[in-house]
Amino acid sequence: MHPFTSVTAIAAPIDEPNVDTNQLCPTRFNKVPRGPKYARVLFHDRRFEADGREKDFVLNREPYRRAQIIVADRNWGSGSSRESAVYALYEFGIRCVIASSFGDIHANNCYKNGLLPVVLSDAEVSDIRAQLHERPGATISVDLADQTVIDPAGRVHRFEIHPVRKKCLLEGLDDIARTHEYSERLAMFEDEYRAERPWLFGGA
Amino acid sequence: MSAQTTFEKIWKRHVIAEEEGEVLLYVDRALIHEGSSHAFAALAAQGRRVVKPAQVFAFTDHYVPTTGRERGVEGIAIPEIRDMVKTLHANAAAHGITLFGIDDPRQGILHIVPPEQGITQPGLLICGADSHTSTHGAFGSIAFGIGASEMMHVMATQMIWQRKPRTLRVSVEGKLAPGVASKDVILAIIGQIGVAGGVGYVIEYAGSTFAEMTMEARMTVCNMSIEAGARAGMVAPDETTFAYMEGRPYAPKGPLWDQALALWKSLPSDEGATFDKEAALDAAEIAPMVTWGTNPEQTLPITGSIPDPNSAADAERCAEYAAALDYMGLRAGMALQEIVVDRVFIGSCTNSRIEDLRAAAEVAKLGRAKVPAWVVPGSRLVQRQGEREGLDQVFREAGFEWREPGCSLCTAINGDQLQPGERCASTSNRNFRGRQGTGGRTHLLSPAMAAAAAITGRLTDVRELLR
Ligand code: SF4
């Protein structure tokens, strides 16, 4: 996994709440293998006409084509568990999404791919979006070690993150190495569990 | 010991380790489908194998066509779609995973088949490569959807890292009126608590309304927990659950049945157990529901009218409603029953079980479809059962199409899809923009309501037809 430490970059405001993973990656693109092709998949049906021409959408406008941060509203990434939604964000260049709440599964998928989901309050995200609308192309700094977001006006917003998630992101660790430390415990657990519920392991 | 909820009892029993509040849990069953190709690619990239193949079950559902299945996988016309099905077959074989392949007489949707087969049981921790894995909570299990990286981890270790969610109890008391289905109950709940109302929670559905429901109806409710933002939803197991389980292929038999039953009976929440949050609805007040917008909280009783964005609570809602109406091609103030539909879809893991098809057939009998109307059973077993009961005949005589099982128009990935601007009355679970095809417009409703829309050509109060 790619680590995430900090980013200072152009931030794109996306005002609508409840942006679901189907918007981020329409279902038909799920079958595309991971890779650079996903850059075009992001918000595909909002960004492109059926014939491939660009529509007017925030990420199709300069300077937001170079955005690495999205400042969204509430309930970002609700809906389907598709991880391809995160591949699309990542390949487009997005490294951090700031919202007032996230679809749970999507937030987990972000962590597993080196993309930082930051939760700030409703008031903070709407204020930061207002700043971005006033000064298109303004940059935001996000620092994971400090757990801070610095908005275009220079105000500092602190965010919470679970210490284990933070460590994994900072070091680019995936879970498996961590899990393997518990293989002995798993073996013990399973012996007992199988004895307690023998019917679960017999097949049809 | 203090009083515990069903959720706490199951959660505790699956804990293997804990690091600063991150908990490593044992996974009883993992459910995957063709779209799990990313998880297999990640496994292969790390040179790992599925560690407990007997606990992983693979289903062909998302990509399979719903017509022309005589030729099996080779009969799939579109090469990329055929490859997705073939890849799953190949991965299942390579890892020794139980496969419900395209030709299997038990084939069907990953949230329909495991309950039918008894793979889903009370007290389990189930992870699925699909957000509607919450369906399986209807049996009193913790069941939730995960992404490809987490599924890779589950397949490689049979464990998963999670943080403990909070608990939300949604109580509904009383009898449902005639013509009102469990789909209406869950739409009403989402309408009340909102699409983010359950974020961070596991919902336990409690009260006499759920106690009275069949397993199938409970599955419809738990299925859409994710649409309220919750990872999982559950109903405590009871006699209805046990009666459903008995005799299923993977269910315990003989003395093991008694042993299992004793464990299952210990699972309901204890008297006095507390939840982090509570919500309540009165069953008598629930009417047949239909969504008018682009997320499931934009829902109203069928007797209602499209809301005026200008009367929304705040400027943000106003913009949200206006955008939804624009996408849906509707105007404020219009009665829901004036909305003319182009197509009807009866299917998906929310509403494609036998009882759903029976409810739709009862209404289909009353007329003839005015618009193309599809019935897509959730599994081969449902399809065959429907045929034994003559439901296929009822539907055909009413001008509906009886198709082969799969996800079909729910997610529009197998080639079944709406055309831009087409309006569909659908028994599925998501009315998101483009969910049923780019530019498609979706109204969610119950199977009986969908059949009513088919025979009138517009959104219709099914209670008037049944009167
Ligand atoms: S029917 Fe729809 S919601 Fe259910 S598993 Fe298939 S695609 Fe997902």
Phi, psi of B126 (to 5 degrees): -120, 130
Quote the pLDDT of residue B408.
95
Quote the pLDDT of residue A177.
84
Are both B423 and B279 inside the same structural domain? no
Rounded distance between C-alpha atoms, residue A139 and residue A72, angstroms = 15
Are both A141 and A197 inside the same structural domain? no
Q: pLDDT 10s per residue in chain B (467 long)?
A: 689 999 999 999 999 999 988 999 999 999 999 999 999 999 999 999 999 999 999 999 999 999 999 999 998 999 999 999 999 999 999 999 999 999 999 999 999 999 999 999 999 999 999 999 999 999 999 999 999 999 999 999 999 999 999 999 999 999 999 999 999 999 999 999 999 999 999 999 999 999 999 999 999 999 999 999 999 999 999 999 999 999 999 999 999 999 999 999 999 999 999 999 999 999 999 999 999 999 999 999 999 999 999 988 888 889 999 999 999 999 999 999 999 999 999 999 999 999 999 999 999 999 999 999 999 999 999 999 999 999 999 999 999 999 999 999 999 888 899 999 999 999 999 999 999 999 999 999 999 999 999 999 999 999 999 98
Extract the tokens encoding B318: 């106003």
Are both A73 and A116 inside the same structural domain? yes
Are both A179 and A97 inside the same structural domain? no
Rounded distance between C-alpha atoms, residue A18 and residue A121, angstroms = 15
Quote the pLDDT of residue B199.
93
Are both B189 and B66 inside the same structural domain? no
* B447 within 8 A of B360, measured Cβ to Cβ: yes
Q: Enter the DSSP assignment of B313.
A: S
pTM score, whole prediction: 0.95
Are both A195 and A95 inside the same structural domain? no
Q: How far is the CA of B40 from the centre of ligand 1 (A)?
A: 20
Rounded distance between C-alpha atoms, residue A74 and residue A58, angstroms = 18
Rounded distance between C-alpha atoms, residue A97 and residue B92, angstroms = 35
Quote the pLDDT of residue B314.
86
Please report the atom of ligand 1 found closest to the CA of residue B350. Answer: 4
Are both B152 and B179 inside the same structural domain? no
Are both A197 and A101 inside the same structural domain? no
pLDDT of A73 above 80: yes
Quote the pLDDT of residue B1.
62
Quote the pLDDT of residue A174.
86
Q: Work out the number of other CB atoms within 10 angstroms of the CB of residue B168.
A: 24
Q: How far is the CA of B108 from the centre of ligand 1 (A)?
A: 11
Are both A92 and A151 inside the same structural domain? yes
Strand residue runs (E) in B34-110 = 56-59, 98-100
Are both B227 and B275 inside the same structural domain? yes
Rounded distance between C-alpha atoms, residue B343 and residue B339, angstroms = 12
Are both A109 and A194 inside the same structural domain? no
B9, B10, B15, B22: which to substitute to probe chain A, counting the most A Cβ within 10 Å?
Answer: B22
Residue in B329, B328, B334 with CA at minimum distance from that of residue B294: B328
* B44 within 8 A of A33, measured Cβ to Cβ: no
Residue B359: give its domain's CATH number.
3.30.499.10
Residues of B in contact with A162 (CB under 8 A): 20-22, 163
Are both B138 and B199 inside the same structural domain? no
Rounded distance between C-alpha atoms, residue B450 and residue B11, angstroms = 38
pLDDT of A72 above 90: yes
Domains: count for chain A: 2
Domain boundary among B109, B131, B162: B162
Quote the pLDDT of residue A149.
98
Quote the pLDDT of residue A202.
77
Q: Is residue B56 part of a domain?
A: yes
Are both B301 and B450 inside the same structural domain? yes
Are both B239 and B305 inside the same structural domain? no
Are both B310 and B414 inside the same structural domain? yes
Are both B388 and B336 inside the same structural domain? yes
Extract the tokens encoding A189: 């657990």
Residue-number span of the structural domain to which A189 is assigned:
174-204
Are both A105 and A203 inside the same structural domain? no
Extract the tokens encoding B253: 């038999």
Residue-number span of the structural domain to which B372 is assigned:
290-466
Quote the pLDDT of residue B239.
98
Q: How far is the CA of B243 from the centre of ligand 1 (A)?
A: 26
Are both B327 and B276 inside the same structural domain? no
Instruction: Quote ipTM for the complex.
Output: 0.92
Which of A34, A73, A105 is the closest to B131 by Cβ?
A105
Q: Is residue B1 part of a domain?
A: no
* Contact residues for B367 (Cβ-Cβ < 8 A; gap 6+): B398, B455, B456, B465
Indicate yes or no: CB of B438 within 8 angstroms of CB of A26. yes
Rounded distance between C-alpha atoms, residue B24 and residue B162, angstroms = 6
Indicate yes or no: CB of A45 within 8 angstroms of CB of B438. yes
Residue in B282, B281, B300, B277 with CA at minimum distance from that of residue B290: B300
Rounded distance between C-alpha atoms, residue B429 and residue B220, angstroms = 9
Residue in B159, B162, B157, B132 with CA at minimum distance from that of residue B144: B132
pLDDT of A203 above 80: no
Q: Is residue B216 part of a domain?
A: yes
**H helix or E strand, kind and range, residue B270:** none
Domain boundary among B263, B285, B307: B285
| Residue-wise burial string across B276-304, b where 16 or more C-beta atoms lie within 10 A, e elsewhere | eeebebebeebbbbbbbbbbbbbbbbbee
Quote the pLDDT of residue B184.
98
Q: How far is the CA of B264 from the centre of ligand 1 (A)?
A: 28
Q: Is residue A24 part of a domain?
A: yes
Quote the pLDDT of residue B171.
98
Domain boundary among B285, B305, B334: B285
Residue in B177, B183, B271 with CA at minimum distance from that of residue B220: B183
Which of A84, A103, A108 is the closest to B150 by Cβ?
A108
Are both A66 and A148 inside the same structural domain? yes
Q: Is residue B242 part of a domain?
A: yes
Are both A156 and A179 inside the same structural domain? no
Q: Is residue A166 part of a domain?
A: no
Are both B251 and B312 inside the same structural domain? no
- From B31, B64, B84, B132, the mutation candidate for ligand 1 (largest count of ligand atoms within 8 A of CB) is B132
Please report the atom of ligand 1 found closest to the CA of residue B347. Answer: 1
Rounded distance between C-alpha atoms, residue B370 and residue B1, angstroms = 61
Question: Do you know the residue count of chain B?
Answer: 467
Domains: count for chain B: 3
